[in-house]
Amino acid sequence: MPALARRLGRARVAATFQMMARVRALREAGTPVISLAIGEPDFATPPHAIDAAYAAARAGETKYPPVEGTKALREAVRRKFARENDLAFAPDEIIVTNGGKQAIFDALLATLDDGDEVVIPAPYWGAYPLAVEMLGGTPVFVDCPQAQGFKPRPEAIEAALSARTKWLLLNFPNNPSGAACSRAELEAIASVLRRYPHVWVMDDAMYEHLLYDDIGYRSFAAAAPDLRDRVLTVAGVSKTYAMTGWRIGFAAGPAPLIRGMANIQGHATSGVSTVGQAAAVAALEGPQTSVAVQAASYRQRRDLVLERLGACEGIRCHRPEGAFYVFPHIGGCLGKTTRTGRRLDTDADFATALLEEQHVAVVHGAAFGMSPHIRVSYATDQASLIEACDRIARFCADLR
């Protein structure tokens, strides 16, 4: 058969997707798996957003949309940034995308040339380096261990920057660690970037509303307004409004970059679903009660998981400030053997054995650039979390 593109060799399948495929296979075989592997809210989309989508469809809003997004949604996004982030954007500085991931991909494809470097603090969402590598760029990682709260130190960022650096990619609250930076911490990073005017900054703020501790968090562009002309802020409705399947993300930044992203998107997917955009307008502009309710529920779940996992032999947990993940250190479990005789040498071994022996799915830390850790999502109901933590505790207690 004809050959496939060489770039596919750089397009590795994300570890989260691999784990979920194994979960589906086990469930189809009748195994009662509890999945703590996926980052998806277990809440329902707000009813007023669903009603808005239905009304838009009934009104005939089912034609091709503008590539950059409908005027109504870009206006809603503009007001959202002004209201919540103290950021002022013109309509041509905003683009609507098929989820936040497309905004990231659009921006990288519009700016990266072969060999360009992207500085990525680790632990990181696995999609970041995969996209950079697939597009011919080079990821450069900045280690942010648990001992420093999974946050990057300014001097470590500066050491990673070079003449080839095109982007610094920030993600707070962070997936997978849940870490969030204070305004002072972001200002310290900005003080470094002022010495490197050729570097773009991408602020992935998808979890911005899932904050549980008062740390004075601000978006990067608000913390460093003088750098606004080279900051892209990425957000969406997926996590805040439990609308993952609607595939509505958005980004705001300098007009030339947004035009480049729209050009890329026009060739790849064109505009985003019109009825989905109508739902997103309603979510952003309608009642916000569900946002606080969900955040309060996640805070309770975080505390529950921290208490239970913290009592497990060989596990050390950091208290996350946001998102809906815990990223525990499992070094005390390695070098041991499970009750079935399986030796655990890596966090991948731990995750595989936990799934097969106790039927709990987590994602190994190496997939996020940091070992030995596992990512535990607590975006599920409390009963399932309790049972899953009990199974993890049994798994750890049985290690010898």
CA triple 41-46-51, angle to 5 deg: 140
Whole-number Cα distances in Å, 70 to 8, 57, 138, 250, 371: 33, 14, 34, 12, 43
- The rounded Cα 261 to chain-centroid distance in angstroms is 20
At residue 213, the pLDDT reads 84
Which are the contacts of 19, defined by CB distance < 8 A and separation ≥ 6? 37, 351, 355, 361, 362, 363
Nearest to 78 by CA among 91, 66, 69: 91
Which are the contacts of 394, defined by CB distance < 8 A and separation ≥ 6? 358
Which are the contacts of 167, defined by CB distance < 8 A and separation ≥ 6? 107, 108, 111, 112, 118, 119, 199, 200, 201, 202
Q: Which residues pair with 171 in a beta bridge?
A: 204
At residue 83, the pLDDT reads 96
For residue 171, the SS3 value is: strand
Task: Walk me through the domains of the chain, giving residue ranges and CATH numbers.
Answer: 6-44+290-397 (3.90.1150.10), 61-285 (3.40.640.10)
Q: What is the pLDDT along the chain (400 residues), one digit of tens a residue?
A: 898 888 877 777 777 778 888 888 888 889 899 999 988 999 999 999 999 999 999 999 999 999 999 999 999 999 999 999 999 999 999 999 999 999 999 999 999 999 999 999 999 999 999 999 999 999 999 999 999 999 999 999 999 999 999 999 999 999 999 999 999 999 999 999 999 999 999 999 999 999 998 887 889 999 999 999 999 999 999 999 999 999 999 999 999 999 999 999 999 999 999 999 999 999 999 999 999 999 999 999 999 999 999 999 999 999 999 999 999 999 999 999 999 999 999 999 999 999 999 999 999 999 999 999 999 999 999 999 999 999 999 999 999 9
**How many helices (H) and strands (E) would you count in the chain?**
13, 14
What six digits make up the tokens of 372?
A: 């030995």
Give a three-class secondary structure readout of 65-98. CCCCCCHHHHHHHHHHHHHHHCCCCCHHHEEEEC
Q: What is the pTM of this model?
A: 0.94
What six digits make up the tokens of 190?
A: 């900005």
CA triple 100-347-374, angle to 5 deg: 45
At residue 18, the pLDDT reads 84
Mutual angle of helices 347-358 and 15-28, in 10-degree steps: 20
Q: Which residues pair with 224 in a beta bridge?
A: none
At residue 19, the pLDDT reads 82
At residue 398, the pLDDT reads 96
At residue 215, the pLDDT reads 81
At residue 24, the pLDDT reads 85
